[in-house]
Structure 1
Amino acid sequence: MQTKRLFILPLAFAIAAGTLVPDSESFAAPQKSKSAAHKKPAATAPAAAAPVGETAVAGGAPVLPAKAWLLMDFDSGEVLASANADEPLPPASLTKMMTSYLVEQALRTGRLKKTDLVPVSEHAWCRGSSSESCMYLPLNSQATVIDILRGIVIQSGNDASKAIAEYMGGSEEGFAKLMNDEAKRLGMTNTHFVNATGLPDPAHKASARDLAILARAIIRDSSEFYPIYAEREFTYNGIKQGNRNALLYTDPTVDGLKTGHTQDAGYCLVTSSKRNGMRLISVILNTTSAQARADQTRKLLAWGFGNFEKATPLQPGTPVGTAKVAFGKADTVPAVLGSPWTITVPRGQKVQTAVQLKPDLEAPVKKGAVVGKVVATSNGKPVGEAPLVAQADVEQSGLMLRGWQHLLKLFDK
């Protein structure tokens, strides 16, 4: 226990001092002096040259020396800028976002309870190691699900991830199948999980776009548990560890999500930041250091918030079209926006809207039923869409009138 404490204290001190430390699966050996604790980690070589980013903003995307990166608008899921967004890459401990997401959804649906006890097998146990990130669960002990979740998210515990994987999936391999099934459901098309931790495996890959989709799902679907991603420290088994996401200490608008690092993956970071009602999700994959991933994230978020803004193309309840209705007491019904609608667009660009109504509506039509959609474009590019609904009920016409309407419809063909 004393050795563990000596290892964790320099880590916590380094984070508090603003010096970033190696993350997740590839901690250095225990440091022997305070001066050693402040040495910068050895650089991991990313792509040879910064990839060219894509964006709709005049002047282009920022230049970031990471192998892949992406910036997404949370509300719409629209990608605002990216480079190599769909290249499958080693995700390191960013993998644990899927592990934690499955735990959170099991808690939400009642499959798991916060107080359920998770056993720690020899496979899950870290063996007191300081060469990988651990929650330091004792062998053959038990921990509550909510403590395990914090150990995964805050401490990036490989032992916590393996223990819950065995508990939920029967084995880590069985849990990986659950991970891949969920990835498919979410639309993560360039991702394949082999384990619950992100430990290196040639077949274990994820793309920047897919990781942003996953981050968006966590924020959207796990509202009760999402505040855990902003917690700066967690103490378990008498060992206090700090969250390795340095932006949580320096940017009050940042509230998650996860860091990652292995030699093959380089330094990685998925971040969420909310400013003035707009939330952006950033992904940095395979850059050179913990400092670089934080700096590049700051640059990307600053660029995003500086170059995009929220727009309200239409107000709810205002008729924007008239949908034709067959076999009804009324021939038409006003189409309106049923709920508030905002989109994220490049600053200063005008937004155009186009209404698309269903051509085959038949009575009865209930008030609030979807009768079409409105599509927003900016600078010729689609930037969002929203459903249009019927403003009023349209009752079905009487039998004789319906017969006459059917006859008229035949002659109209």
Structure 2
Amino acid sequence: MNITTLAKHICMLCSLMITQLTWAAEMVPTFPQLAAKSWILMDAVSGNVLVEGNSDQRLPPASLTKLMTAYIATMEIIRGQIGENDKVTVSENAWRTVGSRMFIKIGSQVTVSDLLHGIIIQSGNDASVALSEHIAGSEDAFVDLMNDTAGDLGMNNSNFINTTGLPSQDHYSSAHDIAILARAIIYDDPVRYTIYSQKEFFWNNIKQLNRNLLLWRDKAVDGLKTGYTDEAGYCIASSAIHDGQRLIAVVFGANSEQARAVETQKLLTYGFHFFEAHTFYHKATVLSRAKVWNGAPNQVTAGLADNLILTMPKGQLNNLVTSITMNSQLIAPIAKGDVIGKVEVISNNKVVHSVDLIALDAIDKGSIFRCVWNKINLLFYDLFN
């Protein structure tokens, strides 16, 4: 075999290897339909949806409603409006609430922290009502907070009528919305998120187990909550972290407690096996500097309002590159947060994602002398560019 023939064979072999590697990287099998009414798998860091089925369908959320109840309570703690050790007097209204219970006694005083544990671990309807009354004066007033918070989070397919998830007309949410809420719970208050991983809670001489079976079956799972009513079926919002990657899985309307755990496990296994997340840039990091006409100073720093994170099928991230483009002729004044360019993520010469590049600081308008001088320079700049 001469050198020319050998070279041709080597080239063919290399081409075949590249083709096979590319094919393997892009080969992500279609996720099969789950045995549930709706479901979603979300990358927690980026909020990107990896796979879903009817995830925006409005359905009764059962006790997944309590995720919103608990989230608002933890935000009130962070804001200093209530304290974890505050004593809450249990009303007759809370004590009489039907369904799953923490078994708090009428007229007794229970700390906010204990009520949170009763809501999250024991799914106590009585605890949900008691805590809502403590925060807002009444459950109805608290429900207004729930719907306002849902709007702020972008939960566009949710409407709450109560704090418990007991069946009620026009009380609904969606798998996608619950995933959005779960993401907020995880990242807005990571300290109290650890409650969701606790397997049991002992109160009033009664030990109740967390109904999230995955906490026993998968060490990567560390939350969140289950729900069930005859109307809703078996529901679950769960999260797991593996090799630094966190996923959120939500399932609505499974047929049994076992089924919701099995179907959720399918989602998490699929996500960790076939996808990976990559952070390209962190928010507020200086990515570029640009000249500002008439500015004092005459340069502006540019970066991103949020982390630039993409979740892609494994093996495809190496094919991605980023490109930063600044707007031409930036003229003062410029406010902090003004859009002054673009950051694009490119794969095979195709833009797959684009985000705004913003000013990280404000640039005031300079002196009259500077403005006149820059106007002359700008005239020549336009003439020759």
Q: Under a length normalisation based on structure 1, what TM-score does the superposition of the two structures give?
A: 0.76
1:196 partnered with 2:166:
no
Counterpart of 2:373, as a letter, is: W
Aligned to 2:190, the other structure's residue is in SS state coil
Partner in structure 2 of residue 105 of structure 1: 75
Q: Deviations over 1:235-290 (max 9, x none)?
A: 11111111111111121111110100011111101011111111111110011111
Q: Distance in 1 between matches of 2:156 and 2:305?
A: 32
Residue 401 of structure 1 corresponds to which residue in structure 2?
Answer: 370
- 3-state secondary structure, aligned to 2:95: coil
8 Å CA contact 1:345, 1:378 repeated in 2: no
Aligned residue in 2 for 1:357? 326
Are 1:259 and 2:226 an aligned pair? yes
Deviation per CA, 1:24-52: give whole Å up to 9, x if none. Answer: xxxxxxxxxxxxxxxxxxxxxxxxxxxxx
Equivalent position of 1:237 in the other structure: 204
- Shift of the alpha carbon at 1:337? 7.0
Identity of aligned residues (%): 45
CA separation of 1:61 and 1:402: change in aligned 2, threshold 3 A: same
Q: Which residue of 1 aligns with 2:65?
A: 95
Q: Does 1:159 align with 2:129?
A: no
What CA deviation, in whole Å up to 9, does each residue of 1:193-244 have, x standing for no partner? Answer: 0000000012100011110111011111112211101011111111111111
Residue aligning to 1:81: 51
Give the aligned partner of residue 269 of structure 1.
236
Matches within 5 A, 1:11-410: 58-126=28-96, 132-313=99-280, 323-328=290-295, 335=302, 342-349=309-316, 350-359=319-328, 361-363=330-332, 371-376=340-345, 382=352, 385=355, 387=357, 399-407=368-376, 409=378
Partner Cα separation in structure 2 for residue 239 and residue 371 of structure 1: 60
> Which one has a larger percent helix, Structure 1 or Structure 2?
2
**Is the 8 Å Cα contact of residues 341 and 357 (structure 2) preserved in structure 1?**
yes
CA distance in 2, matches of 1:348, 1:405: 49
Any conservation in 2 of the 1:344–1:383 contact (CA below 8 Å)? no
TM-score if structure 2 supplies the norm length?
A: 0.81
Give the letter for the 1:283 counterpart: V
Task: State the Cα distance separating 1:302 from its structure 2 match.
Answer: 0.6
CA distance in 2, matches of 1:140, 1:184: 34
Separation in 1, partners of 2:162, 2:244: 36
Q: What code does the residue aligned with 1:121 have? A: S
Q: 1:331: Cα distance to partner? A: 6.7
Cα distance in 1 for partners of 2:206, 2:229 equals 23
Residue identity in the other structure for 2:181: L
Structure 1: segments with no counterpart, 5+ residues: 1-55
Question: Closer, same or farther in 2 for the Cα pair 1:395/1:124, shift >3 Å?
Answer: closer
For these two proteins, the number of residue pairs brought into alignment is 354
Whether the 8 Å CA contact 1:126–1:136 is kept in 2: the answer is no
Note the C-alpha offset of 1:59. Answer: 3.0
